[in-house]
């Protein structure tokens, strides 16, 4: 009897795993080509981070940037539970293009490899590799002219939504704990973060076999991370949405960071009446309040 169609793991709406090893994804979006965004005028191009791993990234730059302008840089990691999403599809464009346009900043979204084909911590490793690749431009001699010519490497911010916010936080801690010479990490912007649940997260256990899926994992619960107070930036912005099922974990993260002994400044911002990652699914005019908060955080000294 052929039982290859038997489902061994059902993590809907993300993916299902069959007995023969097949993975069926439920959430698949087509990528958008790079170029000029007609809504905001933002320009984008794709770059290769690592020929060996195949990791790429998309850079977003404001149309009005001049040849002598040095702008803040947002290093972005997309959401999607570590198993869906892309730096190249419309949801990432919806998040970043309005901020790039309104704030006159540059953004680069790192397209880390997805689980379960690439089990965690590969997503974290790829994201770190992307940060190192970016830092290689701080002397003006990197492979990408947009970064060489237009980035103020004294004003680099890590950001992400949901799982991407988790990655941004984790890398900021690693920068502080391990030292960093390539660039100055000015801050982190943590949007609707995924930091697990009080109960064991079975999908995360599957995606990361070295994790318990529970609160003893510092990647899921920063409160148990002995390096939290070393986070390598001067300020943090934690954004939550009132109707988000992860809202309370986001607020708990804010309170934990504020009392951790980390010497930086942390702000808390809540969007009333909205749900998880609403900014990725709405038109830019409907996300102006959140975008303004992020722009002010990045551009106001």
Mean pLDDT of 259-272: 98
Q: Are the C-beta atoms of residues 194 and 223 closer than 8 Å to each other? A: no
What pLDDT does residue 285 have?
Answer: 66
- Residues 224-250 have pLDDT tens digits of 999 999 999 999 999 999 999 999 999
- Residues 99-151 have pLDDT tens digits of 999 999 999 999 999 999 999 999 999 999 999 999 999 999 999 999 999 99
- Residues 202-229 have pLDDT tens digits of 999 999 999 999 999 999 999 999 999 9
Catalytic residue among 126, 192, 244, 260: 244
Concerning whether 229 is annotated as a catalytic residue, the answer is: no
What pLDDT does residue 283 have?
Answer: 73
Catalytic residue among 76, 192, 204, 276: 276
Catalytic residue among 127, 162, 211, 260: 162
Q: Are the C-beta atoms of residues 127 and 171 closer than 8 Å to each other? A: yes
Fold of 34-299: Rossmann fold (3.40.50)
* 48-62, 114-128, 285-299: least confident range: 285-299
Q: Are the C-beta atoms of residues 39 and 28 closer than 8 Å to each other? A: no
Mean pLDDT of 73-99: 96
Q: pLDDT band for position 43 (50/70/90)? A: very high
Hey, where are the domains in the chain? 1-30, 34-299
Closest CA relative to residue 134, chosen from 104, 166, 107, 100: 107
Concerning whether 244 is annotated as a catalytic residue, the answer is: yes
Q: Beta 106-111 vs 23-25: how paired, if at all?
A: unpaired
Whether 183 shows a pLDDT value over 90: the answer reads no
Whether 198 shows a pLDDT value over 90: the answer reads no
Q: Chain-wide mean pLDDT for the chain?
A: 94
Whether 1 shows a pLDDT value over 50: the answer reads no
Concerning whether 86 is annotated as a catalytic residue, the answer is: no
Distances (CA, A) of 193 to 5, 23, 30, 75: 35, 26, 24, 16
Closest CA relative to residue 153, chosen from 102, 108, 111: 108
């Amino acid at each position: 009897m052929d039982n290859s169609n038997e489902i061994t793991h059902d993590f809907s709406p993300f993916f299902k795993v069959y007995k023969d090893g097949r993975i069926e994804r439920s959430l698949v979006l087509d990528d958008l080509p790079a170029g000029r965004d007609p809504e905001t005028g933002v320009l984008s191009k794709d770059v290769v981070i690592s020929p060996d791993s195949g990791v790429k990234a998309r850079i977003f730059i404001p149309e009005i940037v001049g040849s002598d302008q040095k702008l803040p840089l947002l290093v972005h990691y997309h959401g999607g539970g570590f198993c869906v999403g892309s730096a190249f599809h419309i949801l990432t464009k919806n998040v970043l293009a309005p901020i790039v346009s309104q704030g006159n900043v540059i953004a680069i979204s790192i397209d880390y490899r997805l689980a379960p084909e690439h089990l965690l911590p590969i997503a974290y490793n790829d994201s770190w590799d992307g940060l190192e690749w970016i830092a290689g431009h701080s002397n003006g001699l990197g492979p990408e002219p947009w970064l060489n010519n237009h980035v103020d490497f004294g004003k680099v911010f890590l950001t992400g939504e949901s799982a991407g916010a988790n990655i941004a936080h984790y890398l900021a801690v690693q920068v502080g704990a391990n030292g960093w010479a390539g660039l100055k990490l000015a801050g982190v912007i943590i949007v609707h973060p995924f930091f697990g649940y009080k109960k064991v997260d079975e999908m995360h256990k599957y995606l990361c076999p070295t994790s318990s899926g529970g609160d003893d994992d510092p990647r899921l619960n920063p409160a148990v991370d002995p390096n939290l107070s070393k986070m390598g930036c001067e300020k943090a912005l934690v954004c939550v949405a009132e109707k988000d099922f992860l809202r309370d974990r986001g607020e708990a993260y804010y309170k934990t960071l504020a009392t951790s002994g980390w010497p930086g400044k942390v702000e808390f911002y809540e969007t009333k009446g909205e749900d998880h990652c609403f900014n990725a699914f709405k038109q830019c005019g409907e996300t102006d309040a959140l975008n303004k908060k992020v722009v002010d955080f990045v551009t106001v000294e």
